[in-house]
A and B are shown apart, each in its own frame.
Chain A
Amino acid sequence: MAAPAVQLDRITKRFAGHVAVDSLSLQVPSGSIFGLLGPNGAGKSTSIRMLMHIHIPDEGTVRLFGEDGKTGREQSSRIGYLPEERGLYPKMRVLDVLIFLAEMKGVDRRKARTLALQWLERLGLADWKMRKVNELSKGMQQKVQVISTLLHEPDLLVLDEPFSGLDPVNAQVLKDTVLDLRNKGKTILLSTHIMEQAEQLCDGVCIIARGKKLVDGPLAEVKRTHGGKHVHVTFDGASGDAERLFSDPRLVKKKESTGQYAELELAQGADAQDILKGLVTSGARLAKFELAEPSLNKIFVDLVGPEAATPHAVPEGAR
């Protein structure tokens, strides 16, 4: 098996009195899409900047592509980086910006030009290639920036909040592009606080809060170990003895019910079949009885705690 594309080993970064990232370790398997999840200020961007060698970790090591002692900058030709705060040279021509940024990644000038023209064509910006960046709409600028991240055909893509500020159409274009690249064997590390997107895209995730890792691993495994077992019940009129059954702590750990509908998280060791049996014998009429996976959003909120669910902590995701 190929070496992990990214290996962070207990990296720590402190800024003027506070610890931004605290002994974070994680592995991003080669050829996968990996989500770095956390509320705002959790240390996602700082971790990514350490990975890119923009910030140097105070402690710990970063290994990329299994190569020892080579920094992100030294391997920058294999990495595409989309920073959280977007920006291009506003007064440069679109084509010139793309060529210049590709040259920064070590691409030959002529090859950069050909690739840039192909990408502009593909994303419908061919007519704009000789325009100045500041004449483009925000959405078009975002596309140009995405092209600049991909142009040099990197093996590893590092996308910091790639969906923020994108309209649904462009977000879909980006999602398709990311999936397409993964299918070509590239590795994608993206940070986000929008759980729905992470859930749709990611093969593996790492949830961090306040600089510390809470959980990481393949998405399915995280769901299995941290989500618990969930049951969704919809009644068809009579609910029988459901209330008493759902209040039994040996069976149900948490419940949310609205009369005709209930979401249950089962207690440790409980069997969903016991609940089904209990409901049927107590005379309840069921429209639906479903064994459900918890959403990533629920795991996230449970793990991070209530402060992350408040609007100021997750402004984008709350929308």
Chain B
Amino acid sequence: MNKILAIIRREFMERVRRPVFWVMALLGPLLLGGLIGYQVLLAKGGKVKSIAVVDGTSNGLGQRLVDMFAKGETFRAVSVPMSSKVVDSLRNEVSQQRLDGFVVLPVTLAQDGKAEYEASNVSSLNATEALEGNLGRLVVLARLEASGVDPHLVDAAQIRVQLETKKIVGGEARSESSGQSFFLAYMMALLLFITILTYGVNVMSSVLEEKTNRVVEVLVSSVTPFQLLLGKVIGVGGVSFFQFFIWGVTGRFLLRQRAALMARAGTTAASSGFQLPHVSIDALVIFLSFFVGGFLLYSALFAAVGSMSSNEQEARQTQQPVVYLLMISYLSILGLTNDPNSTLSVVLSLFPFTSPIAMPVRWSAGNLSALDAGISLAILVATILGVTWVAARIYRVGILMTGKRPSPKELLKWIRTA
């Protein structure tokens, strides 16, 4: 027992002592935050676009569109009257990059609702949405006015609809935007994926290190391979928990300072329209139990990979199937959050190689019972036992082997005879 403790301590201390651990532990949240911020920025479509509105209408709709844009944050526009050469000269302006684009409002706009938008970039969903929304309102206004409705009445009748989403948790409705829900689920999946991968690979390189520097011979003459593997997995796993702990502490600190930080950045929490989601105790418990399960499962696989390879390069090749297995769940995050109760989601959250990521995501995105989580966890635990049994056998033979990588047939023999 003391020997296992010594192995755990070595694995833990040697990792925590390295500067790279602290770089990841302290910069990790910043990097992750930056990654998410970057994605939000991309979705927002970047800077304000300056465009021209070519007004071919007879009742000054162009100027009204310009005024509408002025209220939003997507476009800054000027209205120019329609003439025979204006489109060509505007095209020239766009190609000279003095203008981002222009909208052509034909005289028939109010009749058939057709307009044209030409720009250097037309793939921004955000810009297209703003254009379509504003033009739509404009056309409705024009048509109502044409039928003799008082413009003030039209203005008064218009109201912006705000949809408040509430999530039902245990029969109680809780205010939470879909953005928050998604954010939480996405964060969880990303954290699980990165951590399981990083620390699984850590177990692999630790196995490989002892194999290549031959310390393993001295070790297995004093402890059983299973003790060695167990100590290694617990030690490396402990580092990952320590890392979560640091992230949790720095995360809390940053949250407390959020208002101050945002004020410095020139925004307020309200104007950013972004609230952090509520993380409940049960979500945390689910997250941590499935993390432990996922880590144990994948580190057993990675340990087997490490033991059957004789160098870093070979291991990188051999680990591919394991990484792909883990990738499945990462690639399914969007599907899982969009529809947590689809057949695919259910299958993914039961299949033990994807459930460590899929189940916490479903839990935070949907409304699942403890039984759902329990069944999934039971399958995961059973698989861990089976996989560890096989992996430990490969490990036992593999750590002492040098030279050529075993063929699948040889692997089967190792498993049978070890």
Which residues of A line the B interface, CB within 8 A?
Answer: 49, 52-55, 72-73, 76, 79, 81, 83, 85-92, 96, 100-101, 103-106, 109, 148
Closest to B212 in A: A87
What residues of chain B lie closer than 8 Å to A76, measured between beta carbons?
Answer: 221-222
- Within 8 Å by CB of B214, from A53, A72, A83, A103, lies A83
Residue pairs across A and B with CB atoms within 8 Å: the count is 63
Given A88-B215, A100-B6, A100-B10, check contact A81 B400 (CB 8 Å): no
Name, among A81, A87, A89, A148, the residue most crowded by chain B CB atoms within 10 Å (CB to CB): A87
**Chain B residues within 8 Å of A100, by CB:** 6, 10
**How many chain B residues have a CB neighbour from A under 8 Å?**
22
Quick check: A106 and B217 within 8 Å, CB to CB? no
The verdict on B67 contacting chain A, using a C-beta distance below 8 Å, is no
Q: CA separation between A53 and B222, bound complex, in Å? A: 9
Nearest-Cβ distance from residue B38 to partner chain A, whole angstroms:
34
B13 CB contacts on chain A under 8 angstroms: 96
Nearest-CB residue, chain A, relative to B5: A103
Per the 8 Å Cβ criterion, residues 179-230 of B in contact with A are 209-210, 212-215, 217-224
* Contact residue among B6, B215, B221 (Cβ-Cβ distance under 8 Å from A89): B215
- Binary interface profile of B, 74-110, with partner A (CB < 8 Å = 1, else 0)? 0000000000000000000000000000000000000
CA distance A123 to B331 in the complex (A): 57
Please list the 10 inter-chain residue pairs (A to B) with the smallest Cβ-Cβ separation, ordered nearest first.
Answer: A87-B213, A87-B214, A103-B6, A52-B221, A76-B222, A104-B222, A83-B217, A85-B214, A100-B10, A81-B221
Using A79-B221, A103-B3, A104-B222 as known contacts, list a sample of 7 further A-B pairs with CB atoms less than 8 Å apart, ordered by residue number in A.
A52-B217, A55-B400, A73-B223, A87-B214, A87-B215, A88-B215, A92-B10
Q: Does B2 make an interface contact (CB < 8 A)? A: yes
Contact of A103 among B2, B215, B220 (CB under 8 A): B2
Q: Are A104 and B14 in contact (CB under 8 A)?
A: no
Contact among A88, A106, A148 with B3 in the assembled complex (CB-CB below 8 Å): A106
State whether B2 touches A72 (Cβ < 8 A): no
Residues from chain A with Cβ under 8 Å of B2 in the complex: 103, 106
Are B222 and A105 in contact, with the CB atoms below 8 A? yes
- With A103-B6, A104-B223, A106-B2: A91-B14 Cβ-Cβ less than 8 Å: yes
Tell me, in angstroms, the Cα distance from A53 to B224 when the chains sit together: 10
Taking CB atoms, residues of chain A closer than 8 Å to B400 are 54-55
- Contacts known (A55-B400, A73-B223, A89-B209); A104 close to B218, Cβ less than 8 A: yes
Q: Which listed residue, B3, B212, B219, B221, touches A72 by the CB 8 Å rule?
A: B221
Greatest chain B CB density within 10 A among A53, A91, A96, A100 is at A100
How many angstroms between the C-alpha atoms of A135 and B70 in the bound complex? 66
**Given A100-B10, A104-B3, A106-B3, A90-B222 contact (CB < 8 Å):** no
* Contact mask for chain B residues 153-196; partner A; CB cutoff 8 A; 1 contact, 0 none: 00000000000000000000000000000000000000000000
Q: Per a CB cutoff under 8 Å, which of B3, B18, B213, B219 touches A90?
A: B213
Establish whether residues B221 and A54, one from each chain, have CB atoms under 8 Å apart when the complex forms: yes
Q: Which of A49, A90, A100, A104 has the most CB of B within 10 A?
A: A104
- Chain A hits for B222, CB < 8 A: 73, 76, 104-106
* Smallest CB separation, B142 vs chain A (Å): 74
